[in-house]
Amino acid sequence: MNYKIAVLNGDGIGPEIVAEAIKVLDKVGEKFGHQFEYVRGYLGGESVDKYGVPLSSETVEVCKNSDAILLGAIGGPKWDNIEPEKRPERGLLAIRKELGVYTNLRPAILFKSLKSASPLKEEIIGDGLDVMIVRELTGGLYFGHREYSDEKAFDTLPYTRFEIERIAKKAFEIAKLRNKKLTSVDKHNVLDTSKLWRKVVEEISKDYPEVEVSHMYVDNAAMQLIANPRQFDVILTENMFGDILSDEASMLTGSLGMLPSASLGDGKVGLYEPSHGSAPDIAGKNIANPIATILSAVMMLRYSFNLQKEADAIEKAVEKVLEAGFRTADIYTDGMQKVGTDEMGTEIANRI
């Protein structure tokens, strides 16, 4: 089969990590007889430099005319002081909104051989940590009314029943296929949006009697993730809380460089990107961990192309490379073999 993938490198480490995901995809294509065709688009700072805006209509077209989108990461100090509408981050929010990808899946899975890279004690992290964060991605604080003056500024956090219902249904569907445990995270004790969130989640839960649902305040959830991470199966939460909790959860697996993501809507095009940012502090040094991006490509094979064997093959290859002791700097522990971004990609591709 032929698949057209829109590729948005973005900024900072973006081009380095995307190159490794493409290396791995090409190897899978070769092995299993698929053609991946890549069409370049531009997002974030690279788009500001090229088109004067962080997301151009040209790139929107490229994305909408593809079967899936692979994104590196955007942002960096070069664009930190331009007008707010031109910030690279605005381009990322705009493409998510434009594609209607309201479901953001961020799986925090600990590979056995990375147990010692996790900052938690072995008896707490245990075996087989596998938490799926379902983050609402196109509503809430990121898309509310905002106003800024040097004396007063505000952002609002709106959610409609419709927006909560559709993400809650997705999360329950996912929980049904997993360990049937869903924790909805909110701030019901303070926020009206959380009041509506909890009410709607309770209502939707009636259609999923097989799923055990509980509610947790976000501050407690942040603590529980560290104290007892294995109590969680699926975490359902709103946009901003999901952003923060997913970075936190990534460390349980050893590094932010291990956490992939899939952003899905009801349309055909899914957006796949690592959960981390453009890491300007390590850009251009060939030391970034490409695994989050490679695992995002795995999610693309599963969710957009339904290529399960191919996805399994990459996952197995990642596992073998980690078992063999190869580590980028972020997951390095004593006695392991330190490799760069490109070598990590090559080692993974070689095991497919």
Residues labelled as active-site residues: 142, 187, 219, 243, 247
The three-class DSSP label of residue 65 is coil
CA-CA distances (angstroms) from residue 346 to 33, 193, 325?
Answer: 20, 46, 14
Interface with ligand IPM includes 98 (CB under 6 A)?
Answer: no
Range in contact with ligand NAD (rule: CB under 6 A) among 32-40, 271-279, 306-314, 343-351: 271-279
| Nearer of residues 241 and 332 to Mn ion, judged by Cβ | 241
| Nearer of residues 69 and 317 to ligand IPM, judged by Cβ | 69
Range in contact with ligand NAD (rule: CB under 6 A) among 215-223, 228-236, 277-285, 299-307: 277-285
Q: Which residues pair with 41 in a beta bridge?
A: 8
The three-class DSSP label of residue 332 is coil
Residue choice 46, 243, 315, 330 for contact with ligand IPM (CB under 6 A): 243
- The residue nearest ligand IPM at its CB is 89
Interface with ligand IPM includes 248 (CB under 6 A)?
Answer: no
Interface with ligand NAD includes 280 (CB under 6 A)?
Answer: yes
Q: Is-contact 54 98, C-beta < 8 A?
A: no
Give the separation between CA 224 and CA 157, rounded to whole angstroms.
Answer: 25
- What are 20's two structure tokens? 């490794």
Range in contact with ligand NAD (rule: CB under 6 A) among 30-38, 72-80, 94-102, 221-229: 72-80
Interface with ligand IPM includes 275 (CB under 6 A)?
Answer: yes
Which secondary structure element, helix H or strand E, spans residue 326, and what is its range?
Answer: strand 326-327
CB-based contacts of 320: which residues, under 8 Å, 6+ apart? 351
At closest approach, how far in Å is the CB of 331 from ligand NAD? 8
CB-based contacts of 152: which residues, under 8 Å, 6+ apart? none
Q: Is-contact 275 166, C-beta < 8 A?
A: no
Give the separation between CA 281 and CA 73, rounded to whole angstroms.
Answer: 13
Interface with ligand NAD includes 85 (CB under 6 A)?
Answer: no
Strands (E), 110-211: 130-136, 146-148, 153-155, 181-186
CA terminus-to-terminus distance, the chain: 19
Residue choice 49, 266, 281, 312 for contact with ligand NAD (CB under 6 A): 281
What are the residues binding ligand NAD (CB under 6 A)? Answer: 73-76, 89, 92, 256-257, 273, 276-282, 288-289, 292, 330
What are the residues binding ligand IPM (CB under 6 A)? Answer: 75, 89, 92-93, 243, 275, 277
* Binding-site residue set for Mg(2+): 219, 243, 247
* Binding-site residue set: 76-89, 96, 106, 135, 219, 243, 247, 277-289
